[in-house]
Structure 1
Amino acid sequence: MGTSLQKSGFYLLKLHDALSKAAFMLGSGALAVIVASFAYEVVMRYFFNAPTRWASDLVSFLLLSSVFLAAPWLTREGGHVSITLLPDLLPAKWSRRVVSAGFLVATVVCLWAGWIIAGEVRILFQRGTMTLSAVPAPKWWFTALILFGFVNSPFYFLRLAFGIQPDTTTEEAGNA
């Protein structure tokens, strides 16, 4: 029974990793589109005197998307901001405890923010609120991306807090 439960947990972690990596790749693609649209805007504005109406809005939406799509994977990789003054001054045993406590606090804060954002997504969806932009889009789409980042990152904070390290052996073997 325990082995079956462990396998299920392993597959859930792998599924979460796959979802987060796919979101990270989408976020990276959004950054590429940002660069391309800015380049297009510059060419159109300064060489053809025909600025676009949509480029600035697109960049804003894609920047928001890239941040919250990439957040869970960056949390997994330890790419979040960390101030390590206190843990660096403590003995190793206490340092691990302080860092783990920080990860647990981050988990609670992210889940709390996710709860609030989920309510906002529901309200925006029910009201049909649109963005105030040259090309209006449903506002809940973008708020849902914020929700994605705030709901998925805490699972990595929990894994970090309890020392459940991501399995990199299969990734390293695939890259060799």
Structure 2
Amino acid sequence: MARKRIEGTQFTTWDDVDQALREIGEIDRDLALIEGDTNHAIDELKAKAKADSKPLLDRKAALELAMKEFCEANRGEFAKVKTKALTFGSVGFRLSTKIVIRRIGDTVQALKDLGLAQCLRIKEEPDKEAMKSLSAETLAEVGASLRTENAFGYEIDRAKLPEVA
């Protein structure tokens, strides 16, 4: 389990700290139960919504298909205009151009080989792990600094919780 960082707690004995760990473990267990119940309820609601919406989605898809087929059968009416305005909306055809890439890796390499770097997206971001090896002066030059802190954390021994409860 990941260590947790906290600030500002005050106890007088190690037993107080141990009891706080026990209580945190019990709270985590109760929260997990609540979260599980919530997720179960959400899953049930999603399943019900999906079942309730299926007939509507099916009807919508059938109407869209019928509308498309009708418009394609009457395509001659779209020779001079791209869109036909109707009372409750409009229908029409638009010229669409797409780039189809079979293998991304091959295309990227070919673009590089042909010197078409302007057709590539390159995301640049600082590599913080690599920057840890830089000197403080170099970090300052690039607008960064190295901060070291001794952070407190704790771990719950969940196997021992049932013994106490």
For the criterion TM > 0.5, the same-fold answer is: no
Q: Which has the higher strand share?
A: 2
Q: Which has the larger radius of gyration?
A: 2
Give the number of the structure with larger relative contact order, counting CA–CA contacts within 8 Å between residues 6 or more apart. 2
Structure (1 or 2) with the greater helix fraction: 1
